[in-house]
């Protein structure tokens, strides 16, 4: 299918100042990049030092990028775990490692990252071998600038993303979120997510969810929690400090969640990413309920109007839902629980239009 990149920055950036790079995995799990002819080219560590490579902070970086002035529409072949990085005024700096099996991505948690002073954002996607497209905008790690994706097919189109101006978003964010979450603003470049900021181990707000975790663990020692996933209905209760679930069909299988940390909740990992597929689906439900502060009121699960009403909650994520098309956003890693994410999909799409905005 085609990806089309549209400069909607109102002349803040010319098309020769807007860069994009498309990377992802082929069917063998090898990281690749897409060249301007639409070929999927395996990444190699030697690309870091190849002719035309990028250099910053005394280190070489691979150069897989194009400007919109060079090419604004490109054929994208089937690929998995894909990312289309867009950067404004500067290329984004990527490095291939582990014999091409991994890429060092931009990381807003580290001031020493070469992209710390680069305006960038990205779209995530997969195009499987049948041509089925799954993709989304994301604020899971950070917000750089507003983008809209429009998936176009013969039977219509779907949109996701953010339509508001960048300056309005920065201003509204500072005005409306609690003071702890205001610390996530890294002007002028981005607003980072809680787990990229002070809400992880060693940070000023590393214990943000601790009281809520303690209260919920105590509550569910004497109460039961019902969780529904595609595989059935499961009943959970805290036993020996472990949240233990079993299916209502009386099977003997047990699915567990160890006592989490606040960081586990924001990251939706750690104790929420252990075990087999069914266990991980249950864990995703509980992680989402913590972020949305509805764990003590499971009847409100999948009722977005009831999310984030009480503290503590992930108010960073709430903000992006309030300011996104149809209130759909990826504000934390399992925001697709109850179909609240910005994911759009189609079995036979023609084009993905990526509209890049500023003010």
| 108 phi/psi in degrees, rounded to 5 | -70, -5
Same domain? 148 vs 238 = no
* 250 lies in the same domain as 109: no
Q: How confident is the model at residue 275 (pLDDT cuts 50, 70, 90)?
A: very high
Residue 9 is classified by DSSP as S
Cα–Cα distance measured from residue 323 to residue 148, given in angstroms and rounded to the nearest whole number:
12
Query: Is the same domain home to 45 and 149?
Result: yes
Report pLDDT digits (tens) over 24-62. 999 899 999 999 999 999 999 999 999 999 999 999 999
168 domain-assigned = yes
125 with 269, same domain? no
- Mean pLDDT along residues 105-119: 95
CATH number at residue 241: 3.30.920.50
22 and 112 fall within a common domain: yes
Residues 30 and 119 in one domain: yes
3-state secondary structure of 190: strand
Do 174 and 277 lie in a common domain? no
Q: How many domains does the chain have?
A: 2
Which CATH number characterizes residue 50's domain?
A: 2.60.110.10
Of 167, 123, 128, which is closest to residue 149 (Cα–Cα)? Answer: 123
Cα–Cα distance, 225 to 91 (Å, whole number)? 48
Is residue 134 domain-resident? yes
Residue 51 falls inside a structural domain = yes
Residues 97 and 168 in one domain: yes
Based on the domain organization, do 135 and 277 belong to the same domain? no
Mean pLDDT of the chain: 97
Cα–chain-centroid distance for residue 241?
31
293 and 341: one domain? no
Rounded to 10 degrees, the C-alpha dihedral 94/97/103/106 comes to: -50
Residue 247 is part of which domain span? 210-311
203 domain residue, yes or no: no
pLDDT tens for each residue of 54-94: 999 999 999 999 999 999 999 999 999 999 999 999 999 99
User: Can you give the pLDDT at residue 250?
Assistant: 67
pLDDT one-digit tens code per residue, 130-180: 999 999 999 999 999 999 999 999 999 999 999 999 999 999 999 999 999
What integer pLDDT is reported at residue 251 of this predicted model? Answer: 74
Is the same domain home to 103 and 249?
Answer: no
Q: Which residues contact 238 (CB under 8 A, 6 or more apart)?
A: 217, 218, 220, 221, 244
Would you give the DSSP letter of residue 155? Answer: T
Q: Does residue 202 form part of some domain? A: no
Looking at residue 248, what is its pLDDT? 87
Confidence at residue 84, expressed as pLDDT on a 0 to 100 scale: 98
Residues 6+ apart with CB under 8 A from 350: 1, 2, 152, 153, 154
Tell me: do 249 and 348 sit in the same domain. Answer: no
Is residue 93 situated within a structural domain? Answer: yes
pLDDT in tens, 187-230: 999 999 999 999 999 999 999 999 999 999 999 999 999 999 99
Average pLDDT value for residue range 275-280? 96
Q: Is 316 part of any domain?
A: no
Q: Give domain status of residue 205, yes or no.
A: no
């Amino acid at each position: 299918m085609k990806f089309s990149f549209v400069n909607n920055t109102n002349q803040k950036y010319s098309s020769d100042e807007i860069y994009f790079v498309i990377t992802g995995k082929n069917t063998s799990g090898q990281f690749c990049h897409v060249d301007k002819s639409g070929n999927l080219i395996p990444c190699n560590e030697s690309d870091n030092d190849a002719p035309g490579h990028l250099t910053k902070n005394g280190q070489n970086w691979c150069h897989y990028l194009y400007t919109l002035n060079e090419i604004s529409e490109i054929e994208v072949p089937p690929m998995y775990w894909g990312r289309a990085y867009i950067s404004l005024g500067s290329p984004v700096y990527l490095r291939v490692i582990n014999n091409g099996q991994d890429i060092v991505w931009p990381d807003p948690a580290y001031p020493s990252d070469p992209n710390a002073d680069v305006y960038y954002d990205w779209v995530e996607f997969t195009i499987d071998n049948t041509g089925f497209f799954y993709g989304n905008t994301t604020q899971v790690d950070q917000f750089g600038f507003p983008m809209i994706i429009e998936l176009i097919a013969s039977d219509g189109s779907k949109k996701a993303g953010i339509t508001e101006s960048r300056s309005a978003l920065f201003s509204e964010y500072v005005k409306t979120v609690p003071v702890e979450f205001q610390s996530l603003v890294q002007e002028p470049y981005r607003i980072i997510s809680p787990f990229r900021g002070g809400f992880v181990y060693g940070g000023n707000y590393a214990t943000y969810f601790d009281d809520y975790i303690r209260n919920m663990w105590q509550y569910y020692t004497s109460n039961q929690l019902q969780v529904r996933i595609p595989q059935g209905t499961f009943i959970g209760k805290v036993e020996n400090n472990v949240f233990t679930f079993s299916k209502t069909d009386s099977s003997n299988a047990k699915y567990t969640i160890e006592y989490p940390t606040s960081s586990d909740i924001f990251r939706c990992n750690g104790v929420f990413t252990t075990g087999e597929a069914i266990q991980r689906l249950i864990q995703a439900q509980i992680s989402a309920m913590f972020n949305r502060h509805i764990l003590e009121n499971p009847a409100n699960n999948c009722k977005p109007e009831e999310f984030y009403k009480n503290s503590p909650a992930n108010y960073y994520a709430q903000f992006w839902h309030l300011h996104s098309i149809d209130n759909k956003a990826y504000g934390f890693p399992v925001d697709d629980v109850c179909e609240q994410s910005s994911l759009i999909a189609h079995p036979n799409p023609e084009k993905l239009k990526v509209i890049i905005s500023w003010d």
